[in-house]
Structure 1
Amino acid sequence: MANLSKINALMCGTGEYTTGWVGTGASKSDKKIGVVGLTLFDLRRLGKVDQLSMVGVNGGKFPAIRQHLAENIGGVYKDMDLSFEEYPEGGKVDPEAYKLAIEKLAPGSAVIIFTPDPTHYPIALYAIERGMHVLITKPATQLLSHHVELIEAAKKHNVVCFVEHHKRFDPAYSDAKARAQALGEFNFFSAWMSQPKLQLEVFKSWAGKDSDISYYLSSHHIDICCWILQDRAVPTRVVASAATGIATGEPYNCVPQTEDTITLMVDWESTTSDRHRGTAVYTASWTAPLKAGVHSAQHWYYMGEKGDITVDQAHRGYDVTVDETGKMWYNPFYMKYSPSETGHFDGQRGYGYISIEKFIDAARSVNAGSATPADFDAHGLPTIANTVLTTAILNAGRISLDEKRAVFIKRALSENGAEQWVLE
């Protein structure tokens, strides 16, 4: 990678995952100084990234964000250049500021999108159509039809488009995926992921209005299941169920349609055997207890024809007990925030960091002509093409809840004769 040119990058979204700032101060989660900004500042230190910019809706937040970054990144790690162009400028409020920010970039730049779920598709499409490489946080889109459009647009404009499914780079998940290949035909998968009720305070502005807990959390493990079963089985039917009553009551008072816990039951069919069928159950909740010792409780179970696999991502034999807060389980494999012995950032091996670096490396390789976007589809990376069934399942789950029926996932021919996934 040493001979590849540096790449300029735009961060879309100024919140918890990008900066660690949530409007009233640092996040109370495990992302107090963010992930995207910190990673890109470090990749600039390492010579992979050049100029950075950041866009939100309210430009009035930037003075506080800059102070937060200066104190918690610049004041902690050596040699961090925290400079970036901001949009909208002058403290203005502009929901479409991303358009100017993208237009200021040269084709071949990187656009990283961590914004509310309904905005992923329009921002990504706007960037792709102007020749930008794009990384989208999960869920890539809320509608399967929009996901398919992004696949076609990325192919047309010859750019890299990844979805930030960072759990594919978790060493335990990656190893489990490889071992699952030797277990024969798929039979059963179950996944649980939750966050404490305090997240409802952070997400109250959009929870139940713009998206749901299934899109927000189950997208992680649905993608892992789709990744394990890629080219081996396909989802065919989705039935969803939801629990309610906590998010809509005191003290959270979310909108009436907000679900607490959503479960999707999905039928899978083998692509290599007429006899084998599988079942998957994906559950996500944002009404878990407040002091459970982890920010995200998460585990999954896979059973194949010849064996099974159990993964508990939240409890890895590493816990810390403090008088004031009690026992906490930490996951330094995701992002390591403690500095190196020289005082520099030392989290380059974290899978949250690797996920973004893989995208940056892919974009730089395409810019240099040493790779094509299609190359990364074949590598099992979370490209927009490789993640289409994750969106299909999530979209089908939402329809199932809203219309109280089973939703079927099928292949169909598009207007141009190409085969694509559709919901019925």
Structure 2
Amino acid sequence: MASQAKLNVLMCGTGEYTTGWTGSGASKSDKKIGVVGLTLFDLRRLGKVDHLSMVGVNGGKFPAIREHLAQNIGNVYKDMDLSFDAFPEEGKVDPDAYKAAIDKLSPGDAVIIFTPDSTHYPIAIYAIRKGIHVLVTKPATQLLSHHNELIDAARENNVVCFVEHHKRFDPVYSDAKARASTLGEFNFFNAWMSQPKSQLETFRAWAGRDSDISYYLSSHHIDICCWILQDIAVPTRVVASAATGIATSEPYNCVPQTEDTITLLVDWQSIKSPKHKGTGVYTASWTAPLKAGIHSAQHWYYMGEKGDITVDQAHRGYDVTVDDTGKTWYNPFYMKYSPSESGHFDGQRGYGYISIEKFIDAARSVNSGASKPAEYDTHGLPTIANTVLTTAILNAGRISLDEKRPVGIAKDGDRWILQ
């Protein structure tokens, strides 16, 4: 096997998912010490990652972030090297700092993007054109046209570009996908995902301005549905509806165009049978109750020609009740934060970790010549090419809300377009 060098990685975005630190301090969600940074620090300990850097907009946040990481990672797990270069410098505010950070990289290095939805495309395309491998959080882009451009750019520059749809690596979801393939033609899919109203405080800077709850949350289950149906059916039409009034009122006071709950109704057409059509209903909300005991309520139902599947990812038979806070349902299948018996980080089997490690492994494999980027499109992994219909549905939903009309999805040659 070809020797695989360690990978240098730039983390774009310094917020909750990367560090566990938000604009108002340490996160109060289930990601109190983040996912991306913690995973990369551990992958460096395990010899897969080498030099790390991190870029945000405001360099003034880094002293607090470093202290937060030292206290909650360095003081909790053994042998964690938390060093990283920071962009922009302390005291500077620069929305384009990602360019300077990417310019410091070399072809074959990697970028992991966890920034507001509207910034995914410019950061990803800038990195790809410099020969950098990219992992971008969902939604990959807000516009289908941008998603198509990333597909083309990744192929032209011979780099890996994955979308961080980590739920594909949840053992329940992946097993359900396999079972769905035995149920014949698709008939109906219904998905619900919500987070508590406190998220409106975390995301106040961009909620309703740069993105919406459908892009942010429904992207998870829409991708799962597209993944299940990738050889069974294709989407043809989207109609969207939204509930409003909570996010724009006290105490959240989000911008007037902020929706509370968005539902997308999607028509699906069987690939093999003209008479078989299906319906998908995808709902997401960030105005759920504050003390529901779970951070993300999430469940879905799939009905095929020969059977159905019901998945509740929020309640997995594991709950803890505490006098002060009441009952809480935990999901260690996602990220396990408790240390191992030796005192090291012990979450390598969590699907939040696996999603990032799969990308790191792919990039290192391509760099060594052991594989080619196009090969991953055939593996069922969330590559930029394999996730295009998720963006098509989300983009169509946004247009449907804004223009109050159904939006068609069609294929023009080998490219998906909206009508």
Output the TM-score relative to the length of structure 2. 0.99
Q: CA deviation at 1:412?
A: 1.1
Quote the residue 1:384 is aligned against.
384
Q: Which residue in the other structure is 2:219 paired with?
A: 219
Shift in Å, 1:25: 1.8
Q: Shift of the alpha carbon at 1:2?
A: 9.4
Equivalence map 1:58-207=2 (5 Å): 58-207=58-207
The residue aligned with 2:7 is 7
Corresponding residue for residue 347 of structure 1: 347
Distance 1:25 1:262 in 2: 29
Write out aligned runs for 1:256-271 (5 A): 256-271=256-271
- Alignment match, 1:422: 417
Q: Distance in 1 between matches of 2:289 and 2:111?
A: 36
The yes-or-no answer on 1:20 pairing with 2:15 is no
Deviation string 1:219-250 (CA, Å, 9 cap, x unpaired) is 00000000000021100000000000000111
Residue by residue over 1:111-156, the C-alpha shift from the partner in whole angstroms, topping out at 9 and shown as x without a partner, is: 0000000100000000000000000000000000000000000000
The 2-side partners of 1:307 and 1:23 are apart by 46
| SS of structure 2 residue aligned to 1:163 | strand
Cα distance between partner residues in 2 of 1:344 and 1:26:
22
Q: Provide the rounded CA distance (Å) in 2 between the counterparts of 1:201 and 1:6.
A: 38
Which SS does the other structure have where 1:353 is aligned? helix
Provide the TM-score with structure 1 as the length reference. 0.98
Aligned residues: 419
Amino acid at match of 2:242: A
Matches within 5 A, 1:210-249: 210-249=210-249
Alpha-carbon distance in structure 1 between the residues aligned to 2:277 and 2:104: 50
Deviation per CA, 1:307-366: give whole Å up to 9, x if none. Answer: 000000000000000000000000000000000000000000000000000000000000
Q: Work out whether 1:337 is the aligned partner of 2:337.
A: yes
The answer on whether the counterparts of 2:2 and 2:369 sit within 8 Å (CA) in structure 1 is no
Find the residue that maps to 2:230 and give its secondary structure: coil
Secondary structure, aligned partner of 1:134: strand
Q: Deviations over 1:68-94 (max 9, x none)?
A: 000000000000000000000132100
Structure 2 partner of 1:250:
250
CA gap of 1:170–1:196, structure 2 versus 1, over 3 A, is: same
Shift of 1:274: 1.2
Q: Does 1:48 align with 2:43?
A: no
Tell me the C-alpha RMSD between the 2 structures.
0.8
Distance 1:24 1:394 in 2: 29
Question: Gapped runs of 5+ residues in structure 1?
Answer: 414-418
Q: Distance in 2 between matches of 1:333 and 1:124?
A: 29
CA distance in 1, matches of 2:107, 2:232: 37
> How many angstroms apart in 1 are the aligned matches of 2:23 and 2:215?
23
Distance in 2 separating the partners of 1:361 and 1:91: 36
* 1:261-300 correspondence to structure 2 within 5 Å: 261-300=261-300
1:101 is aligned with what amino acid? A
Inter-partner Cα distance in structure 2 for 1:7 and 1:143:
30
Aligned-residue offset at 1:3: 3.7
Amino acid at match of 1:153: A
Residue 306 of structure 1: aligned partner: 306
- Secondary structure of 2:141's partner? coil
CA positional deviation for 1:38: 0.1
CA distance in 1, matches of 2:301, 2:70: 42
Within 5 A, what are the aligned runs for 1:25-36? Answer: 25-36=25-36
Instruction: Name the amino acid aligned to 2:46.
Output: L
Secondary structure class of the residue paired with 2:269: strand
Instruction: Tell me the SS of whatever aligns to 2:106.
Output: coil
Asked if the contact 2:24–2:202 (Cα under 8 Å) also holds between the matched residues in 1, the reply is: no
CA–CA separation in structure 2 for the residues paired with 1:357 and 1:213: 27
- Give identity over the alignment, percent: 83
Once residues 201 and 55 of structure 1 are traced to their aligned partners in structure 2, the CA distance between those partners, rounded to angstroms, is: 23
> Matches of 1:156 and 1:106 in 2, distance apart?
17
Letter in 2 for 1:311: V
Paired AA for residue 34 in structure 1: G
Q: Which runs of 5+ in 2 are unaligned?
A: none
> What letter corresponds to residue 215 of structure 1 in structure 2?
Y
In structure 2, C-alpha distance between the alignment counterparts of 1:202 and 1:274, rounded to whole Å: 46
